[in-house]
Structure 1
Amino acid sequence: MSTQITDSVTLDFYSDKYRRRLCDYHLSKEQSRYAYVPLEVLETCKEDDLRYPVVILYNGEPAGFFVLHGWEGVQTYSDNRDAILLRSYSVNSRFQGKGIAKESLYALDSFVKKYFPEKKEIILAVNHQNTIAQHVYKRSGFIDKGVRKMGPKGELYILQKEL
């Protein structure tokens, strides 16, 4: 069920086989201002069947994590029912600097097309102070069309990527 992207980066829906490895998941101090570790996020996913947790694998080892969220999440930021929301994106601090974020975000397009073929757009919300993440998202094809929302930690930029 995983999607091979390069020799080293793949995406796969979360399953319990990844749980033990995700227990040893660390975020940098900067990342922890904006993101949660996967095990915290998985608790929320259990309560909402429109949240699809995805593991980023680097040479078969869990290196990152994100959630794809259906309409319940999208409607907070967009009225496009053909969109899916990318949320809770992070890369384990041990794996940063290897191009995993860039490769996984490029892989996201084909992953969404394969498993959510009815979706025509991916959206995400990024904190206005999280300039590193903004840069990575924009380099991966996400566009800032000027949509803004307020979040619990400040202003959010809503970025979009058409599929």
Structure 2
Amino acid sequence: MRTHITEIHPVTQENWEQALKISLHENQKHLVPSVTEGLAYAYIKPWDEAFDPYVLQIEGKIIGFFYISYTPESTDNYWIGGFQIDKTFQGQGMGKRALRAIIDFITDKHPLCHILSLTVEKDNHIAQHLYRSMSFVSENLTNSDGEVIYRLKIR
């Protein structure tokens, strides 16, 4: 599977039920909002003007989920959230490939975006390593939930 490209598609009437089947290992569930929560956020938009949920696919099979929360026309208010890879696809390099696809997708879809941000739980060392390996830099700041803020300059 390593040679296949990760595809990104909006969550739609056709794929939302598949998206809800994404499952994490028990010890990961507290680290990231569930897909259900992500879809609820997309409906109520608690943080920004725009909130877009997406699925990650390989060969038509949904392997993960994420959302983008942002202010349209801004240069620095773009946040990746809810990023998760289904437990059956973890440990195969999918997270890094998916994150690269997400960065490329946002760069293409939002040409005004100069800075991408995300947060990660303090004890989620695997995710922190992934983000650092993709050139995200810790701001040594936390949000109101105590999560560490990482940023990536893309332009």
TM range (shorter): 0.7 to 0.9
The residue aligned with 1:125 is: 119
The answer on whether the counterparts of 1:64 and 1:91 sit within 8 Å (CA) in structure 2 is yes
Separation in 2, partners of 1:56, 1:90: 9
1:156 counterpart (130, 147, 152): 147
SS at match of 1:7: coil
User: Which deviations, in whole Å up to 9, do the C-alpha atoms of 1:137-156 show, x marking residues without a partner?
Assistant: 111221113222340xxx22
SS at match of 2:23: coil
Separation in 2, partners of 1:157, 1:36: 15
- Is 2:52 the partner of 1:82? no
Residue 67 (structure 1) shift: 0.7
Gaps of 5+ in 1: 1-5, 73-79
Gaps of 5+ in 2: none
The residue aligned with 1:139 is: 133
1:40-119 pair list within 5 angstroms: 40-48=37-45, 50-71=50-71, 81-119=75-113
SS at match of 1:25: coil
The answer on whether the counterparts of 1:58 and 1:100 sit within 8 Å (CA) in structure 2 is no
What's the TM-score, normalizing by structure 1? 0.82
What's the TM-score, normalizing by structure 2? 0.85
The answer on whether the counterparts of 2:77 and 2:116 sit within 8 Å (CA) in structure 1 is yes
User: Which deviations, in whole Å up to 9, do the C-alpha atoms of 1:61-103 show, x marking residues without a partner?
Assistant: 111101100139xxxxxxx852300111111112111211100
The CA RMSD measured in Å over matched residues stands at: 1.9
The residue aligned with 2:24 is: 27
The residue aligned with 1:15 is: 12
Q: Which amino acid letter does the alignment assign opposite residue 141 of structure 2?
A: V
The answer on whether the counterparts of 1:51 and 1:67 sit within 8 Å (CA) in structure 2 is yes
Which 4+ runs in 1 deviate beyond 3 A? none
SS at match of 1:147: strand
SS at match of 1:42: helix
SS at match of 1:33: helix
Separation in 1, partners of 2:106, 2:91: 25
The answer on whether the counterparts of 2:19 and 2:65 sit within 8 Å (CA) in structure 1 is no
SS at match of 1:53: strand
Residue 52 (structure 1) shift: 0.7
**Fraction of identical pairs, as percent:** 21
